[in-house]
């Protein structure tokens, strides 16, 4: 059952019992808006969003947020668990589609058939040396939620002694080796750290383990199991690099390209509570003090293997092709319909998905409501805005990746920016990630939005007070839907959210009640994320000159170069990198001066508009310069040479992934002669930065 969305303008306007002044303001705007609407529809010329008008619509966007509507959307979206490819997931497709349609937005859905993975049966028992067997329950006993599993784990039964491997990093295995402990033929028990599950399993496999049990520490919700994917790479494994549409080429399941993305040993998530049963029974070697899980109250400090206990676990599952759907609403731009500002959030969830991801979906639906209101009041964005609801993100960003692959040429030539929100609200505190040309815009926009938790302060005030400068993360990881946009298509992107590290992550307890009790009791943080997300889209779609700063990009690259210099300790020359960064800096400064001149221009003649559009194109295309046709070495899908995941998750560099790989390789191999490889990767990055600078300059040589 889904709730009927709001249909009437009157309801849209008054859906929040707002504080009185705001309430009247909204009513007045509604009334004025009706006149504007009638006027514009009866006159022959269209309403153009001049900068002055834009400010008015920005105010309206801010004042029309409603914690009541956003809460009701979240309630409807989280009535049932809705794992990708299942029937309850289709219900959420219909809910989102009819919400957009009922608001009068042009809406369509796109279907792909992708390889997903589901469990059939699992079991885990612990065999003690005195002969007693303890069966560990692998369920949270919540009706309708898929049993805990790792998507794409191979099926199998494994039996062997257990070894605690801490986070399962290389350094942990080295530490074990020092203690004389090996995991060959054992079952690795690891606690979840920073890097992806698939990497933990791959490292255990490489060290000879037969299977992996991965638990999540925590002092609350200790019965929760963290589900997740262990697939490496991104997108549908059977159509790597192209869209999984009906009739498309599909690789065989036994193709080496497909096989290399899956682990060969089975793995499973454990709750903190069940992990404790195992960890408390291990002995043999002493655990290093920093390995101790303080919250788990471990009785003995031990890593195993064996001693008194053996583990027997079975995972039986199936990988099967299932249908997934993205839902997209389009708000056509009036003056530049062929320039796209994309807003996206995934809809599929491991369980009820109140935080992950439907706090974001609720915010997206509330933005749709606010945009529909603005449209009724005469707003037409200058550029086209797309509201995108992605599917199957949890399996490996599949819905968004297939869509990016399908639209690669049009995105490459026409996408202005992609604005992502995944888990919109996890708790208190604002966080943001972005490609650096959008840093300034993030600062601007957050300074316009009231902090939901601190009276009289803006989000910007508290954000910058908490970590000094308003620390902005970069988008090189493959952990949400921005990955394909940034790392494959080179589209400038943003990612925003409230709170982090929430305790019910990927468990059956990620429910509406958790949100209403802990995550966001009055739903004001949801409204705030919606306001920031919506304002970013308004600015990017309405500003005559795109609000991008490449000076900020060049400064960021300069800082990366300095760190790299330190890391390489003079063993490799960075001269070429310095030169290209200088080139980008001067091009960035030049275009900023040009932009300033054009902004001050009074005339709106055709010539002036074309000049602005030409300048915007240079700003839009500069990010594409960082792409390289050949992509990263051995991972050609990853085209971006500044942001992407290094192969080695313990790399000291979280940018320049190609250089990072070369550096790790040279360390690992302890080989001479790899300076050449590092040097070559530095050259590639330098050329990429040079291409970005050339795009900013916009002239042929
Ligand atoms: C066997 O050992 C386990 C773990 O030490 C203990 O919990 C259990 O009660 C023992 N069973 C018997 C039958 O002694
Ligand atoms: C791979 O799978 C295809 C079809 O599923 C089959 O025809 C082929 O023989 C298999 N190849 C190998 C090497 O197993
Ligand atoms: C391990 O568990 C499986 C499935 O429950 C069972 O069939 C098998 O006999 C067990 N193996 C051992 C050694 O206990
Ligand atoms: C919305 O905010 C108001 C004011 O803080 C609060 O009284 C109300 O309970 C909130 N509504 C919801 C659904 O949380």
List domains and CATH numbers for the chain.
5-114+324-424+472-501+526-542 (3.40.630.10), 117-321 (3.50.30.30), 550-697 (1.20.930.40)
157 lines ligand 3 (CB under 6 A): yes
The pLDDT assigned to 75 comes to 98
pLDDT at 650: 83
Helix segments in 336-475, DSSP class H: 358-376, 398-406, 408-414, 439-446, 459-467
For residues 620-625, average pLDDT:
98
Percent of the chain residues past pLDDT 70, beyond the cut: 88
Whether pLDDT at 376 is above 90:
yes
The answer to whether residues 517 and 318 touch, using CB atoms and an 8 Å cutoff, is no
Q: What is the pLDDT of residues 527-551, one digit of tens each?
A: 999 999 999 999 999 999 999 999 9
Pocket test residue of 130, 162, 283, 306 for ligand 1, highest count of atoms within 8 A of CB: 130
159 lines ligand 3 (CB under 6 A): yes
Q: How confident is the model at residue 302 (pLDDT cuts 50, 70, 90)?
A: low
* 282 or 301, which is more confident: 282
Mean pLDDT taken over the chain: 89
Mean pLDDT score, 557-568: 96
List pLDDT tens digits, range 239-264: 999 999 999 999 999 999 999 999 99
Mean predicted confidence (pLDDT) in 115-119: 98
**Is residue 628 over pLDDT 60?**
yes
**Ligand 3 atom nearest 133 alpha carbon:** 14
Q: Which residue's CA is the nearest one to ligand 2's atom 7? A: 252
Q: How far apart are CA 473 and CA 470, in angstroms?
A: 10
Q: What DSSP line would sit under 540-556, residue for residue? A: HHH-SS----HHHHHHH
Bridge pairing between strands 228-229 and 150-151:
parallel
- CB of residue 130 inside a 6 A radius of ligand 1: yes
Average pLDDT (62-90) is 98
| Confidence at residue 469, expressed as pLDDT on a 0 to 100 scale | 66
Q: Would you place residue 616 in the very low, low, confident or very high pLDDT band (cuts 50, 70, 90)?
A: very high
Residue with tokens 């050949």: 630
Average pLDDT, stretch 146-158?
A: 98
Give yes or no for residue 252 CB within 6 A of ligand 2.
yes
Query: What is the pLDDT confidence band of residue 652, given thresholds at 50, 70 and 90?
Result: confident
CA-nearest residue, atom 2 of ligand 3: 312
Confidence check: pLDDT of 303 > 80: no
Find the ligand nearest to 66 CA.
4
**Which residue puts its alpha carbon closest to atom 14 of ligand 4?**
522
Question: Is residue 254 in contact with ligand 1, taking CB distance under 6 Å?
Answer: no
Q: Which two tokens stand for residue 286?
A: 């002493």
Distance CA 309, CA 124 (A): 13
Average pLDDT over residues 280-295: 66
Q: How confident is the model at residue 305 (pLDDT cuts 50, 70, 90)?
A: low
312 Cα–ligand 3 center, Å = 6
DSSP label at residue 627: B
Is 588's pLDDT higher than 50? yes
Does residue 27 register a pLDDT over 60? no
Q: Would the CB of 42 count as within 6 Å of ligand 2?
A: no
Q: Is 601 in the pocket of ligand 2 (CB under 6 A)?
A: no
Banded pLDDT at 32 (limits 50, 70, 90): very low
CB 698 within 8 A of CB 614: yes
Q: What is the pLDDT of residues 681-691, one digit of tens each?
A: 999 999 999 99
37, 60, 376, 535 from 33: Cα distances, Å: 6, 11, 7, 20
pLDDT at 11 over 50: no
Residue 393 among the catalytic residues = yes
CA distances from 407 to 110, 333, 403, 479, 617 (A): 12, 19, 6, 21, 18
- Number of CB atoms found within 10 A of residue 545's CB: 16
Q: Which residue is closest in CA terms to ligand 4's atom 10? A: 522
17 pLDDT above the threshold of 70: no
Which residue has the CA at smallest separation from atom 9 of ligand 4? 522
- Residue 255: nearest ligand to its CA? 2
Which mutation among 157, 187, 210, 309 tests ligand 3's pocket best, with the greatest number of atoms within 8 A of CB? Answer: 157
Instruction: Look at residue 4 in the predicted model and tell me its pLDDT.
Output: 33
- Say yes or no: CB of residue 155 within 6 Å of ligand 3: no
DSSP assignment of 128-194 equals ETTS-EEEPP-----TTPPPS-EETPPPEEEEEEEEE-TT--HHHHHHHHHTT---TTSEEEEE--S
The DSSP 8-state label assigned to residue 337 in this structure reads E
User: How many angstroms separate the CA atoms of 352 and 305, rounded?
Assistant: 37
130 CA: nearest ligand 1 atom: 1
pLDDT (tens digit, 9 = 90+) per residue, 309-361? 889 999 999 999 999 999 999 999 999 999 999 999 999 999 999 999 999 99
CB 44 less than 6 A from any atom of ligand 2: no
Among the bound ligands, name the one nearest to the CA of residue 250. Answer: 2
219 falls in which pLDDT band (50, 70, 90)?
A: confident
Least confident piece of the model among 93-102, 165-174, 627-636, 685-694: 165-174
Going from the C-alpha of 550 to that of each of 203, 512, 697, the distances in angstroms are: 39, 41, 12
Q: Is the CB of 256 under 6 A from ligand 2?
A: no
- pLDDT band, residue 645 (cuts 50/70/90): very high
CA dihedral 60, 64, 65, 71 (to 10 degrees): -160
- Would you say the C-alpha torsion 544, 547, 551, 553 has a positive or negative sign? negative
* Confidence at residue 571, expressed as pLDDT on a 0 to 100 scale: 85
Residue nearest to atom 11 of ligand 1 (CA): 132
Res 364 pLDDT > 80: yes
pLDDT at position 675: 87
pLDDT at 35: 36
In whole angstroms, what separates CA 590 from the centre of its chain?
33
Q: How confident is the model at residue 191 (pLDDT cuts 50, 70, 90)?
A: very high
For CA atoms 687, 688, 689, 692, give the dihedral sign. Answer: positive
Q: Choose the catalytic residue: 175, 393, 405, 681.
A: 393
What is d(CA 66, CA 579) in angstroms, rounded to the nearest whole number?
50
Nearest ligand for residue 307 CA: 1
Least confident of 148-157, 532-541, 646-655: 646-655
C-alpha to C-alpha distance for 14 and 17, rounded to whole angstroms: 7
pLDDT attached to residue 33: 40
67 Cβ below 6 A of ligand 4: yes
Nearest ligand, measured from the Cα of 130:
1
**What was the pLDDT predicted at 281?**
80
Question: Rounded to the nearest whole angstrom, what is the distance from the C-alpha of residue 665 to the centroid of ligand 4?
Answer: 54
How far does the centroid of ligand 4 lie from the alpha carbon of residue 288, in Å? 48
Among protein residues, the one with the nearest Cα to ligand 2's atom 14 is 254
Q: Kindly give the distance from the C-alpha atom of residue 132 to the centroid of ligand 1, in angstroms, as a whole number.
A: 6
Point out the ligand 3 atom lying closest to the alpha carbon of residue 123.
5
28 Cβ inside 6 Å of ligand 4: no
Substitution site in 67, 69, 523, 528 for ligand 4 pocket (most atoms within 8 Å of beta carbon)? 67
**pLDDT in the model for residue 309:** 80
Confidence band for 500, pLDDT divided at 50, 70 and 90: very high
**Model pTM above 0.95:** no
User: Residue 37 — very low, low, confident or very high, per pLDDT cuts 50/70/90?
Assistant: very low
| Banded pLDDT at 123 (limits 50, 70, 90) | very high
Candidate from 80-84, 537-541, 571-575 with smallest mean pLDDT = 571-575
Tell me what the mean pLDDT of segment 135-151 comes to.
Answer: 95
Query: What is the C-alpha R_g of the chain?
Result: 26
Residue 128 Cβ inside 6 Å of ligand 1? The answer reads yes
What distance in angstroms lies between residue 523's CA and the mean position of ligand 4's atoms?
Answer: 7
With pLDDT > 90 as the criterion, what percentage of the chain qualifies?
78
A 10 A CB-CB count for 569 gives: 7
* CA 254–ligand 2 middle distance (angstroms): 6
Distance, CA 311 to ligand 4 centroid (Å)? 49
């Amino acid at each position: 059952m889904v709730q009927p969305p709001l249909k009437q303008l009157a309801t849209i306007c008054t859906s929040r019992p707002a504080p009185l002044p705001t309430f009247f303001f909204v009513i007045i705007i509604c009334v004025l808006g009706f006149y504007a609407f009638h006027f514009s529809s009866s006159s022959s010329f269209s309403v153009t969003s001049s900068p002055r008008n834009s400010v008015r619509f920005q105010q309206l966007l801010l004042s029309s947020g409603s914690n009541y509507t956003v809460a009701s959307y979240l309630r409807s979206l989280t009535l049932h668990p809705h794992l990708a490819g299942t029937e309850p997931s289709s219900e959420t497709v219909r809910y989102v589609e009819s919400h957009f349609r009922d608001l009068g937005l042009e809406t369509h859905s796109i279907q792909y058939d992708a390889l997903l993975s589901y469990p059939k049966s699992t079991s885990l028992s612990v065999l003690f040396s005195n002969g007693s067997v303890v069966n560990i329950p692998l369920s949270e006993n919540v009706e309708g939620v898929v049993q805990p599993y790792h998507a794409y784990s191979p099926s199998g039964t494994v039996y062997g002694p257990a070894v605690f491997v801490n986070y399962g990093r290389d350094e942990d295995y080295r530490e074990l080796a020092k203690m004389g402990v090996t995991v060959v033929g054992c079952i690795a028990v690891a606690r979840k750290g920073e890097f992806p599950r698939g990497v933990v399993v791959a490292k255990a496999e490489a060290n000879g383990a037969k299977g992996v049990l991965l638990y999540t520490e925590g002092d609350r919700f200790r019965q929760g199991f963290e589900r997740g994917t262990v697939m490496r790479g991104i997108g549908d494994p059977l159509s790597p690099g192209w869209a999984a549409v009906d009739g498309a080429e599909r690789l065989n399941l036994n193709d080496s390209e497909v096989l290399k993305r899956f682990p060969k040993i089975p793995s499973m998530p454990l709750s903190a509570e069940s992990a404790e049963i195992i960890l408390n029974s291990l002995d043999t070697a002493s655990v290093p003090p920093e390995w101790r899980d303080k919250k788990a109250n471990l009785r003995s400090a031990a890593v195993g293997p064996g001693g008194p206990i053996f583990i027997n676990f079975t995972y039986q599952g199936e990988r099967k092709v299932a249908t997934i759907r993205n839902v997209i609403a389009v708000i056509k731009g009036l003056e530049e319909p062929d320039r796209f500002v994309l807003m996206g959030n995934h809809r599929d969830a491991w369980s009820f998905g109140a935080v992950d991801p439907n706090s974001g979906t609720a915010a997206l639906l509330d933005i749709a409501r606010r945009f529909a209101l603005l449209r009724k009041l005469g707003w037409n964005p200058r550029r086209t805005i797309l509201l995108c609801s992605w599917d199957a993100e949890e399996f490996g960003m599949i819905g968004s990746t297939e869509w990016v692959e399908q639209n690669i040429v049009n995105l490459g030539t026409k996408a202005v920016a992609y604005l992502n929100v995944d888990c919109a609200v996890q708790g208190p505190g604002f966080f943001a990630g972005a490609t650096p040309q959008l840093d300034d815009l993030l600062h601007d926009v957050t300074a316009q939005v009231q902090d939901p938790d601190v009276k009289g302060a803006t989000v910007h005030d508290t954000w910058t007070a908490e970590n000094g400068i308003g620390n902005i993360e970069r988008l090189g990881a493959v952990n949400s839907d921005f990955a394909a946009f940034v790392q494959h298509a080179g589209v400038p992107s943003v990612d925003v959210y409230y709170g982090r590290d929430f305790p019910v992550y990927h468990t059956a307890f990620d429910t509406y009640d958790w949100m209403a009790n802990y995550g966001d009791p009055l739903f004001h943080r949801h409204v705030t994320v919606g306001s920031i997300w919506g304002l970013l889209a308004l600015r990017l779609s309405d500003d005559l000159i795109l609000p991008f700063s490449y000076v900020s990009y060049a400064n960021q690259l300069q800082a990366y170069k300095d760190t790299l210099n330190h890391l390489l300790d003079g063993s490799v020359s960075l001269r070429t990198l310095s030169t290209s960064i200088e080139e980008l800096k001067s091009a960035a400064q030049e275009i900023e001066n040009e932009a300033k001149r054009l902004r001050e221009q009074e005339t709106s003649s055709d010539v002036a508009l074309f000049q602005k559009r030409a300048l915007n194109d240079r700003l839009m295309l500069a990010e594409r310069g960082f792409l390289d046709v050949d992509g990263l070495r051995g991972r050609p899908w990853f085209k971006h040479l500044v942001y992407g995941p290094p192969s080695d998750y313990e790399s000291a560099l979280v940018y320049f992934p190609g250089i990072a790989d070369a550096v790790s390789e040279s360390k690992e191999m302890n080989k001479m002669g790899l300076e050449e490889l590092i040097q070559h990767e530095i050259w590639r990055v330098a050329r990429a930065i040079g291409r970005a600078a050339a795009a900013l300059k916009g002239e042929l040589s």
